A and B are shown apart, each in its own frame.
Chain A
Amino acid sequence: MQCLSRLPGIGEKTATRLAFHLVRAPDSEAQELAKALHEVVDTIRLCSVCLNLTQLDPCETCSDARRERTLICVVASPSDVVAIDRAGGFRGTFHVLHGLLSPLEGIGPDDLRIAELVRRLKTDAAGASIVEEVIVATNASVEGEATAMYIARVLKPLGVSVTRIASGIPVGGELEYTDQATIARALAGRVTL
């Protein structure tokens, strides 16, 4: 039960309910769950292009030929990728930072996947980038804004256009919990940094 309640989004009450459910369910259900968990942990890794969680490398999004490679949407975490894709309307690719700048928590630029992003913009076949626009879709908290501003500064010399999703995402709000229409509007109304 303690194991379960350590998972994000699962409080004590939910953990208890899950545990009771598993106790009462046929053995096979718990075993299936255990097997699935095992498999996930064993086979999941980071996509070598966008750093999203994936079982295939490159991930489905990065290998999808219909996706526009000229457009990269930068997000803080894998759950933001899910949220934006669910909102629909975004046809580019992603880049997952795995965090936000936060000196107070000891998170500096080297702790985020910014170097990988820079490399992605530089190294395309002939050394020139095909990426035209990078949209920074971090939330409107102090950390989200600082991260966006930092990325804009780092990418500027590379000649790529850096934009920011329009505000409308509640301050400090997580993309994960923002409704789809709001996300779609924020993406459409982006501004240049």
Chain B
Amino acid sequence: MLVRALKFTGFRNLAPSSLEPGPRFNVFAGNNGQGKTNLLEALYAVCTLRSFRSSRLRDLINIDGEQAYVGARVDRGGLERRYELTINARSRIVRLDNKAVRPIAKYFGDFNVVLFAPEDLLVAKGSPGERRRFLDRAVFTLKPSFLAVAQDFEKVLKSRNVVLRDEQLSSSSKEEMLDVYDQQLASLSAQILWARINYLKNVQERFAGAFESITRSGLPASLSYEATGEVLGVEQFPELPSQQETEASYLAALASSRRADLRRGATNVGPHRDVLRFQLAGQLAGNFASQGQLRAMILAWKTAEMDLLAEVHEDPPALLLDDVSSELDPKRNEYLFDFLRGRKNQCFISTTHPKFVLLSEDRRDFRVENGHIEESSSL
């Protein structure tokens, strides 16, 4: 899959422009605050219809403007398609090949990107919430329909919490409503748990293999996932019972925690409390691994994420690397570019200095200055 052209207007600080990236390495260099991340964000947004650093699309509109537009021409196996996203203050317009897309799921699947941002590098040591979001983003990239499930889950969870805290409701209405939300939550929780565990099962071997080839340390890296409420007691991903059984377990767990939930005014059982762990030699990576090893773990994860996507879609995704080199030591940096040279992915790499990018062939250089992007004659 290749992004042949990218066009944007009114997007953050970027000057209206079109760009024809090369098939392999596209390096965007510029000082801090010039628009490098914004450019990667534009590409990510037209692909996923989301931003990776803001929960509201309207933040992407230039502060002096009313509308942002990003269009991408994407080549997959010789077939070109046109993906377009227009963002207004209160709405978004999505078009594929000049037509409205309904259902929106049809937009996803052929155009895939994997993002590798500096914030991700510390995720193995971050809060449980950060690790869940990191995992969910990967699941969503592979399986776009997961987004709707996750959004419904958030909504039902918040609704249940509002009902738990509501002092106006009669106690019989309250119990009836909790029964309703327990049922919805159990079903959505089971779907989320299934999607996450299946993803982890698919990714874990690739992850362990990639970690070894990046660090060459002989220390095994692994993942573990723990579900709350002893719904399953998932350790090292045993075979899951059927989704129906999982749903029934959640329903029972929610029922038995209702009294406690009412006291605390919050729901204590569900995938929003689950824990994903990165382990090194069987130890919790956050306490045990060095900075470099933690970073290598995330690199290994992203590698696995990419390979999995490439396999499922029979096509390598585009890779967005946001200023990653400045976070890695020279050795890890070398491994990273070795790794990239060994794959076929089209890459969009941002950096504060082109010399950080240890690539000499198949490379196109662009200069980013105050929102203007110009192709420069390489180094």
Whole-angstrom CA separation of A108 from B183 in the bound complex: 17
Chain A interface, DSSP helix/strand/loop, else mixed: helix
Chain A 140-180 interface 0/1 with B at a Cβ cutoff of 8 Å (1 = within): 00100110011001100000000000000011000000000
Q: Measured between C-beta atoms, what is the minimum distance from B145 to chain A in Å?
A: 11
| A170 near B163: Cβ-Cβ < 8 Å | no
Chain B interface, DSSP helix/strand/loop, else mixed: helix
**Nearest neighbor of B158 in chain A, beta-carbon distance:** A104
Whole-angstrom CA separation of A103 from B179 in the bound complex: 14
User: What B residues does A109 contact at CB under 8 A?
Assistant: 173, 176-177
User: What A residues does B358 contact at CB under 8 A?
Assistant: none
Whole-angstrom CA separation of A109 from B179 in the bound complex: 14
Question: Chain A interface: which size bin?
Answer: 10 to 19
Q: Measured between C-beta atoms, what is the minimum distance from A51 to chain B in Å?
A: 20
Whole-angstrom CA separation of A149 from B177 in the bound complex: 9
| B184 near A142: Cβ-Cβ < 8 Å | yes
| B184 near A146: Cβ-Cβ < 8 Å | yes
Whole-angstrom CA separation of A150 from B169 in the bound complex: 14
A102 within 8 A of B: yes
| B183 near A102: Cβ-Cβ < 8 Å | no
Chain B 159-180 interface 0/1 with A at a Cβ cutoff of 8 Å (1 = within): 1001100101100010011011
| A170 near B184: Cβ-Cβ < 8 Å | no
Pick from A101, A110, A153, A171: contact of B179, CB below 8 A.
Answer: A153
| A150 near B177: Cβ-Cβ < 8 Å | yes
Interface-central residue, B162, B166, B180, B183, by most chain A CB under 10 Å: B180
**Nearest neighbor of A114 in chain B, beta-carbon distance:** B173
**Total CB contacts across the A-B interface at under 8 A:** 45
| B179 near A108: Cβ-Cβ < 8 Å | no
User: What B residues does A145 contact at CB under 8 A?
Assistant: 184
User: What A residues does B163 contact at CB under 8 A?
Assistant: 103
User: What A residues does B166 contact at CB under 8 A?
Assistant: 103, 108
B341 within 8 A of A: no
Pick from B103, B152, B176, B177: contact of A142, CB below 8 A.
Answer: B152
Pick from B156, B159, B176, B181: contact of A154, CB below 8 A.
Answer: B176
User: What B residues does A149 contact at CB under 8 A?
Assistant: 180, 183-184
User: What B residues does A146 contact at CB under 8 A?
Assistant: 156, 159, 180-181, 184
Q: Measured between C-beta atoms, what is the minimum distance from B18 to chain A in Å?
A: 28
Whole-angstrom CA separation of A109 from B166 in the bound complex: 13
Whole-angstrom CA separation of A162 from B192 in the bound complex: 29
User: What B residues does A150 contact at CB under 8 A?
Assistant: 176-177, 180
User: What B residues does A102 contact at CB under 8 A?
Assistant: 159
User: What A residues does B262 contact at CB under 8 A?
Assistant: none
User: What A residues does B259 contact at CB under 8 A?
Assistant: none
* Interface residues in B182-203 (C-beta closer than 8 Å to A): 183-184
User: What A residues does B177 contact at CB under 8 A?
Assistant: 101, 103, 108-109, 150
Known: A108-B166, A146-B156. 13 other contacts (CB 8 A): A101-B180, A104-B155, A109-B173, A109-B176, A109-B177, A142-B184, A145-B184, A146-B180, A146-B181, A149-B180, A150-B180, A153-B176, A153-B179
A sample of 19 cross-chain residue pairs with beta-carbon separation below 8 angstroms, ordered by A number, consists of: A101-B180, A103-B166, A104-B155, A104-B158, A108-B169, A108-B173, A108-B177, A109-B176, A142-B155, A142-B159, A146-B181, A149-B184, A150-B176, A150-B177, A150-B180, A153-B176, A153-B180, A170-B103, A171-B148
4 closest pairs, A vs B, by CB?
Answer: A103-B162, A103-B159, A149-B180, A150-B180
Interface residues of A, Cβ cutoff 8 Å to B: 101-104, 108-110, 142, 145-146, 149-150, 153-154, 170-171
